[in-house]
Structure 1
Amino acid sequence: MALNRARIAVDAMGGDYAPDEIVSGALRAHDELDVDVQLVGDPETIEASLERQGLSSNIQIIPADGVVEMHEEALTGIKRKPKASVNVAMELVKQGQADAVVSAGHSGASMASALLRLGRLPGIDRPAIGAVFPTMDPSKSVLILDVGAIVDCRPKYLEQFALLGTIYSQCVLGRPDPKVGLLNIGEEASKGNDLAVRTYQMLADNPRIPFVGNAEGRDILSGNFDVIVCDGFVGNVLLKFAEAIGNVLLQLCQEELLRDLDDRDLSHIAPNLKRLKQRIDYVEHGGGLLLGVNGICVIGHGSSHAMTIFNAVRLAKNAVNNRAIERIQEKHLVEQ
């Protein structure tokens, strides 16, 4: 695998704004991130999108037939449509023709396709989508998992999520001693539902997990935790709430902070607002990495626009260049 020129297969047909926004973001990533992007989908549709947007490129187009629609059941959809764009993209990784997949389409279908084609890592029962959130500390972020892959969890799944998050935080995010927390309604070990209470004890007893206790809702963005685990139902609600809050804060800042300012004042405050947007806007993060499968798969937001896709490709590239899967496998197998 070449570390300096990652090959990223992008599902051009997946997402609310496909193909135009997907194609635009992928093309920009291809031009600016020093990656080889492969657009997977219907060639005529992709070519028409390029022409419609006035874009020209020698970017590679990989033919696919169909897409798993959002209303379709995930497993049924990927089996009924073996040549769907997400399946073809996953197959490229399986065959070593691509190093990573990016898809903003049906997240359940992306996960199911990854499981069937790439397989699970040894010792992992269920994968998790890990999303990076900003914190109050500008030098730190927090990895939340799961944010939507598995909505009904057992304690052992959450224990595995914590282990995956620990290793990813150490090997890729550069946190040698990450602090791992369990999302709960109180700090005490006895708080929460049966899942939380049982999981707490398993995390506390596992010497491979640097567990520091429960994390309440107010702790998520505090910077006191590096990894926070929860089931996919709670995590997905949290993710979408965070997306909305980011947009609300940006709108309020524009309405209130810029009120009654003249052009000179605006020129002084504009750089600060830009930095604020970069810290809180989910678009800056691009999506979440599907951890626990034997390949790099970034699952983007269904509402992804071009900039989100650009950042999703950047996330995939970083995972490839950091040898994320190999390092997780090495550390996980050595410590088992």
Structure 2
Amino acid sequence: MKIAVDAMGGDFAPQAIVEGVMLAKKNHPDIEFQLYGKEEAIRQYLTDETNITIIHTDEKINSDDEPVKAIRRKKTASMVLAAQAVKEGRADAIFSAGNTGALLAAGLFVVGRIKGIERPGLMSTMPVLTGDQGFDMLDLGANAENKPEHLHQYAVLGSFYAKHVRGIANPRVGLLNNGTEETKGSELTKEAFQLLKAEKSIHFIGNVEARELLTGAADVVVTDGFTGNAVLKTIEGTAMGLMKLIKGSINEAGAKGKVGGFFLKDALYGLKDKMDYSSHGGAVLFGLKAPVIKTHGSTGPEAVSHTISQIHTMLETNVVGQLVAFFEQV
């Protein structure tokens, strides 16, 4: 397996990226890593160069660059070179913590869509409060607007991922809506409901409400990109705010509160870890000819390692190849 890594993407690159690769190497000795970026900056964080190739470039895409223009003008940027390696078959997947819009553009214009997929969707595995299975949700912002046909394809994509990568035998697919009744929602969700209801390749369970997401109501949740991104940010903000609120309450409770907080420390850290969706890996731009994976810009080495494990599973199960075959039949 060969993974092209944009070593210069992210707030703490290349250190966090390279250190994450070093962690992942211990668990996945069968992966060959191609690190794209400034060789001198990358090499200072390498502790083992086995199965590591550095492809030097001084150019990178910044977080404030306009995505499409950056992909077209910065031909030797680390992200672009990594995507080009995937397109030409020199790598099997690309991973970056850099500019999200630019990676989406690189995925679409360089790697390319699977034939039959109209709009690839951005998908992440999100946490649930009970158990550790989580649920896959898409689109999380790759597209601001969607058609019912796009949501139909997201359901097929998400179901494939949940089954082949996460090992769920018969994933429950839900459509995010403002009510569980079939007649509820906008024209988009009403039309999408009928398409999903008629799709024989998925286990569609109907509409699900936002309040049900963290209780494990579905294994796969589909929605339009605008709504999905808003839900994602709401879950992130709620989790962060809740932890700050608990910490503040303990500190304000005086000595007695701090003693209680000491005994609750392990439980609180466990709650924090449960709500951290980065432990499930990065966000997949799903519907492309190869795995294109994005992780948070402020990600650390452990999250990088989790994401590489996710890519390893995607390559090992050939989920993209199975999708290509499925849509060719359709």
Tell me which of 257, 280, 283 is aligned to 1:285. Answer: 280
Distance 1:156 1:325 in 2: 20
Q: Which amino acid aligns with 1:157?
A: H
Alignment match, 1:81: 74
Query: Is residue 2:145 matched to residue 1:149?
Result: no
Where do 1:1-336 residues align within 5 Å?
Answer: 6-34=1-29, 35-47=31-43, 50=45, 56-58=47-49, 59-254=52-247, 260=256, 266=262, 269-334=264-329, 336=330
Distance 2:164 2:43 in 1: 39
Distance 1:210 1:264 in 2: 45
Distance 1:188 1:81 in 2: 49
Distance 1:230 1:241 in 2: 15
1:244 Cα deviation (Å)? 2.5
State which drifts further: 227-236 or 243-252.
Answer: 243-252
State which drifts further: 72-81 or 292-301.
Answer: 72-81
1:274 Cα deviation (Å)? 4.1
| TM-score where L is the length of structure 1 | 0.87
The number of aligned residues is 324
Change in CA separation of 1:197 and 1:265 when aligned onto 2, cut-off 3 Å: closer
Q: Which amino acid aligns with 1:115?
A: L
State which drifts further: 251-260 or 174-183.
Answer: 251-260
* Residue aligned with 1:220, SS: helix
**Is the contact between residue 61 and residue 77 of structure 2 (CA under 8 Å) also seen in structure 1?**
yes
**Is the contact between residue 162 and residue 219 of structure 2 (CA under 8 Å) also seen in structure 1?**
yes
**Is the contact between residue 286 and residue 311 of structure 1 (CA under 8 Å) also seen in structure 2?**
yes
Distance 1:244 1:262 in 2: 25
Q: Which runs of 5+ in 1 are unaligned?
A: 1-5
Q: Spell out, residue by residue over 1:271-292, the C-alpha distance to the aligned partner (whole angstroms, 9 max, x if none).
A: 5444323311133233211110
Distance 2:33 2:237 in 1: 30
State which drifts further: 66-75 or 140-149.
Answer: 66-75
1:31 Cα deviation (Å)? 3.7
Q: Spell out, residue by residue over 1:11-36, the C-alpha distance to the aligned partner (whole angstroms, 9 max, x if none).
A: 11111222222222223223444333
Alignment match, 1:3: none
Distance 1:64 1:108 in 2: 21
| TM-score where L is the length of structure 2 | 0.88
Q: Which runs of 5+ in 2 are unaligned?
A: none
1:264 Cα deviation (Å)? 11
1:309 Cα deviation (Å)? 1.7
Identity of counterpart residues, as a percentage?
35
